[in-house]
Amino acid sequence: MKPVFSLLFAWCAAIAAVAQEPWTITAEQIDASDYYGATVANGMLGLVSSPEPLRISHAVQGGLYDLYGRGRTSNFLHGINVLDVELRIDGTQITASTAEAYTQTLDMRHGTFRGTFGFGRKAHIEYEYTALRHLPYSCLMRVVVTAREEFAMTVSNVHTVHESLRDPQGFIGRVDYGCAPLDICTSLAASPGGGIGMGGASTFLFTNPYDRPEVVHRAARGAGVHAQEFSVRLKAGERYEFSVVGTVLSSQTHADVRNEAERLTVYTAVEGAERLWRKHFEAWDCLWESDILIEGDPQAQQDIHSMIYHTYAFVREGSGLSVSPMGLSGFGYNGHVFWDADVWVFPALLVLRPELAESMIEYRFQRLDAARHNAFMHGYRGAMYPWESSQTGAEESTAVNIYGPFEHHVTGDVALAAWQYWCVTQDREWLAAKGYPMLAAIADFWTSRAERNSSGEYEIRNVIGADEWNINTQGGKTVDNNAYTNGVARVALEAAGKAARILGLKPDPQWTEVARRLVFRRMPDGVTREHDTYAGEKTKQADVCLLAFPLGVIIDRTQIRRDLEYYLATVPRKRTPAMSKSIYSILYARLGDRERAEYFFRDSYLPNLNPPFRVIAEFDGGSNPYFITGAGGTLQSLLFGFGGLEIAEEGIRAGRGVLPAAWRSLTLKGVGPDRKTYVVK
């Protein structure tokens, strides 16, 4: 493996030789044929950039699903796009092909997206937009046009209802609140199944409301497209600024979609653009009080800021929503919630911003009754969480997908997250009201799921583990005693017992009995066997290695290294999920092997980056970013590997970190509820 190490390190050195901004990623060459948009999001609304200037490629609303599309299951719904702007100068529409010196920038520090370009000798244009962090359903774009010579300009704010939505309608209305009128452009539609109303509204904001141009409505340009527009004439040297503020929501959260969309749009308009920007920036300032700082590697610093930014952007405090593998960047995996949320994203967010992580565990708590019913349907007690979850908490995997009925480790993953939340926050009230009910129900599931054999051991038979390439439908065999599934079941059972004792309750003795006697097999050379019939087959991702981290079921360093080096050889280098490599990095860091820890840290994301904003795909060559699961894993490699942190029963504990040779220091800033800072040099 040494030549591969050398090759990757040489590549990284070449990248680092170019100075990188820690907070911004700028695209100076925009190729629409090889373009993966950057997302600005506020945890409820995601806006994904387009290679075309002044436009959004699509809007994504968090937690909003309907039954349509792939596999007769629920899918994420497209939000109505209310922020697009068109400029026509002396009758010519500005497009990417007519824009000169066109650059786009993702500003991670402020959660905004910017573009700048020229239009011949006539004008220079700048624009900036965002999903407002302090307002969950609102978005804002600011446009500044500087005239180089005199010209006439027409500005259109275009609404687009995605083709997947039904019965689009467009409206225009005027609100006069005593200062200057607001012209409100509104779009309504129904979800593909017809059960959810979708709405969007927007208005222009002018720097001087008393000198506003006349705004007119342009009727449908096609199905689901209409606009409002105004015209002005600019003189040479004149700087002209305007904004568009918009609202995107649905009947799932608002019974009166049209009125509420228009009310919120009026509210934001009266707040005013400058006040909206200020509050938005203040909200991001607060989030960035928790940060990871790398001294000595500018490119890694930029990349880590991107991962933290997307993690913050895809989750919202108080929303009761979790994250799909692609967050609010798109519609991959139907927007469903998997173990990705609980095992890969949640721990990093819990350490950095516990109040955001609380929304993710609240999502699971609110679906506890659905998990109980799922267990009942499958003949078990307690609560069995679905492999794919959306709005209701029912199983959302397709009928032809074998993972839904058998990939039960997700139920243990929910317990792991709940226990970690208690450990970090020490919130006894939460533990009593929400944590323990989840943990107890999950423990009851595992005691009913495990089967006692003739030797008095407990086995979990006919199961699919984290390694989905070795499953229970190949060659007529069953997969029994998958290592990771048994490991996370043990952790869940033990956590339920600990939680009971913390609360002064008596735990079910069966929880301890099953946890103590769950089976873990080894091969003749001492390697932990992935499952009872495993015989060296290729594996998709980390499974056995997860017993060491995050589960802590295996703690012997010799055993950790033995398992790690054996299973590393079974995972192909290409087209496997990114997050496994983060586990390898963490384990090598804890074993004191800085070279391999650094290699797998970089290998966890560098081969998966897509242009022009270094957005992470699920695997190298993947085309469905942003893969927040992979970002969460890489962040854990800094927090729990290089940074040496550990989530222990008494809270976050600092251990001994180990850094890549070129890094001078690693600072973990604003960690945990007490916002502590840890420095590794």
Q: Which candidate, 196, 205, 203, places its Cα nearest to that of 249? A: 196
Burial of 357 (0-12, 13-18, 19+ CB in 10 A): buried
Active site residues: 468, 618
φ, ψ for residue 596, nearest 5 deg: -70, -35
- Amino acid, single-letter form, for residue 485: T
| Distance in angstroms (rounded) separating the CA atoms of residues 328 and 338 | 15
> Token digits for 16?
């680092």
Distance in angstroms (rounded) separating the CA atoms of residues 167 and 522: 60
Furthest CA-CA distance within the chain: 90
Dist. CA 400–CA 417, nearest whole Å: 29
User: HEC states along 658-680?
Assistant: CCCCCCCEEEEEEECCCCEEEEE
In angstroms, the Cα distances linking 664 to 184, 443, 658 are 54, 45, 11
Contact 412, 433 (CB under 8 A): no
Residues 199 and 188: beta-carbon distance below 8 Å: yes
Based on DSSP, count helices (H) and strands (E) in the chain, helices before strands: 18, 27
**Cα 644 to Cα 659: distance, rounded to the nearest angstrom:** 10
Distances (CA, A) of 288 to 109, 510, 637, 673: 8, 45, 19, 14
Cβ atoms < 10 Å from Cβ of 594: 17
Q: Determine if the peptide bond prior to 550 is cis (ω within 30°).
A: yes
Q: Which two tokens stand for residue 412?
A: 């243990």
603: Cα separation from own chain's centroid: 20
